[in-house]
Amino acid sequence: MGSGVDPSLHAACEHARKDDERSRRREAPRVCTANSLARYWADDKPYVEDTEVVALPSFLSAADIEELAMAVSLGGKARNAGWASLSSTLQGVPHDVAFSDVHVALYLHRDGYFQTSHRELFCKCIAAMREQASSLCDPKAPLHVRCIEFHTYAEGGGLIEPDHRDNGSVLTMSALVSNPRDTSGGHFVTFSFGQPVVHELSRGDALLFSSERLHNVSTVAGGQRCALVIELWVQPTNSRDRFS
């Protein structure tokens, strides 16, 4: 594991290193289909871990971030997954799903809310994803919204499981909404040749990547981390969660 990587990512880093070795020896599948969620070999596609992670610095403006906060508080008003042991710091955060006591997400695409009520910001996000992704997928491929999620991680939260990929999606964008000065830990991590790459993001910065690339979020050690996450896929637009 490279220096400076949170120890909570030890297992994920070990997995990434071994997976990279096996993949380069062609002993492990290198590509996922976008349709069946199955992973398979494909000689005509680049190895997904060698594809670019596109940085979009200052992608969200201060006004965009204010608008997002409104979308969460008004659009997600009173939504709560009913997770009994949810951390008290997340009790007032609108959410549809709790991944743990300290990590929740709100589906902003539910019933097309974000697409209709925040159309300009939605179009800005999708246009950037399509325009900046020419190295990641066919620019003309018809892609639809799989999910538009607002994630909140409280202290102790993270996305540390080994082999985390957004299987089934084509493009993922993660934009940092919280101010990293108010958060300790909670770094977005990808892997290059099996080694962790810690992305030092400022508020409003976004990353765009092939959804099937390995990625993690190191454990938040203090404060909260908030991020807007958008996934596009070839299947029809979802209007409920990640799967429907």
Residues that bind ligand AKG (CB under 6 A): 151, 159, 166, 174, 188, 215, 217, 227, 229
Count Cβ atoms below 10 Å from residue 236 Cβ, excluding itself: 10
Shortest distance, position 215 Cβ to Fe ion, whole Å: 6
Shortest distance, position 157 Cβ to ligand AKG, whole Å: 9
Shortest distance, position 133 Cβ to Fe ion, whole Å: 16
Q: How deeply is 171 buried, as exposed, middle or buried, from its count of CB atoms within 10 A (0-12, 13-18, 19+)?
A: buried
| Residues 135-194 close enough to bind Fe ion by CB under 5 A | 166
Name the binder of 174 from Fe ion, ligand AKG, none, CB < 5-8 A by kind.
Answer: ligand AKG
Nearer to ligand AKG, 129 or 139 (CB): 129
Name the binder of 188 from ligand AKG, Fe ion, none, CB < 5-8 A by kind.
Answer: ligand AKG
154 vs 225: CA distance, rounded Å: 7
Nearer to ligand AKG, 28 or 229 (CB): 229
Where on the chain is the footprint of Fe ion (CB under 5 A)?
166
